[in-house]
Homo-oligomer: A and B are copies of this chain.
C-alpha cells in the first residue's frame, strides 16, 4: 500500500475513489540532508507527509538557532498557523537526514474536506498533534531538562540517534555543556550499577 494511504488509514478508512482523488493531489520530492523544507518568514501553502527521514523545527532568537521539536517519519506536517491563516511562518523546518516527502497544495487539502473520511482524518490528526504539543508543554512545566533527557534515554527516543547533540540541548533549553554533564553523570551511574 502507498505509505501515505497506510498512514491515513491508521486514523480513518478510505474508499477507493477517495484515495484516487487524494493520490492525484500528491507530488513526491526528495530533500537532501540539511535542506530547508520551510523557511521562516515565508507563507507555508502545503501539507506535507514525510515517508522517510527526520525533521527538525527551529526558530531564530537573538541570532541563535532554537530547536522547537522534531518529527520522525511517517508523519504529516505543515506550519499549522501559517498554513491556516496565510501568515508568514515563524519556524524553519529542515531535513536532518535525506527525506522522502509527499506534498499537497493547500487548495487541494481544503477541497478534499468535502469527503467525510478525509475530514475525519484531518480532525484526528490535528487532535493528535495537539496531544503531542500538550505533552511537551507538560514535560517542560513539570520536569527539569535532566529528567526529560533521562526519559528520552529510557524510551529509546529516536531523537537521540537522529539529532545533533547541540540541537537536543537547545530543545531541552540548556547549553550543550550542561547536556554533556548530564550525559556523563547518567552513564557513570549506569556503569556503577552494572
Residues of A within 8 A of B (CB): 59, 61, 66, 68, 80-81, 84, 90, 113, 116, 119-120, 122-123, 126-127, 129-131, 133-134, 136-138, 140-142, 173
Asked if A123 and B131 make an inter-chain contact with CB atoms under 8 angstroms apart, the answer reads: no
Asked if B66 and A130 make an inter-chain contact with CB atoms under 8 angstroms apart, the answer reads: no
Q: Which of B84, B120, B141 is in CB contact (< 8 Å) with A66?
A: B141
Asked if B119 and A123 make an inter-chain contact with CB atoms under 8 angstroms apart, the answer reads: yes
- For the complex of A and B, 5 pairs with smallest distance between CB atoms: A130-B130, A133-B133, A123-B123, A137-B137, A126-B126
Q: Point out the residues of chain B lying under 8 angstroms from A80, CB to CB.
A: 127, 130-131, 134
Closest to A123 in B: B123
Residue of A123, A129, A142 with most chain B CB atoms under a 10 A cut-off? A123
CB pairs A–B below 8 angstroms (18 shown) = A68-B137, A80-B131, A80-B134, A116-B119, A119-B123, A122-B123, A123-B123, A123-B126, A126-B126, A126-B127, A129-B130, A130-B130, A133-B133, A133-B134, A133-B137, A136-B137, A137-B137, A140-B141
Secondary structure of the A contact surface, majority rule: helix
- Once bound together, how far apart are the Cα atoms of A113 and B123, in whole Å? 11
- Once bound together, how far apart are the Cα atoms of A122 and B80, in whole Å? 16
Q: Point out the residues of chain B lying under 8 angstroms from A133, CB to CB.
A: 130, 133-134, 137
Query: With A119-B119, A126-B123 given, is the CB distance from A138 to B81 under 8 Å?
Result: no
Q: Point out the residues of chain B lying under 8 angstroms from A122, CB to CB.
A: 123
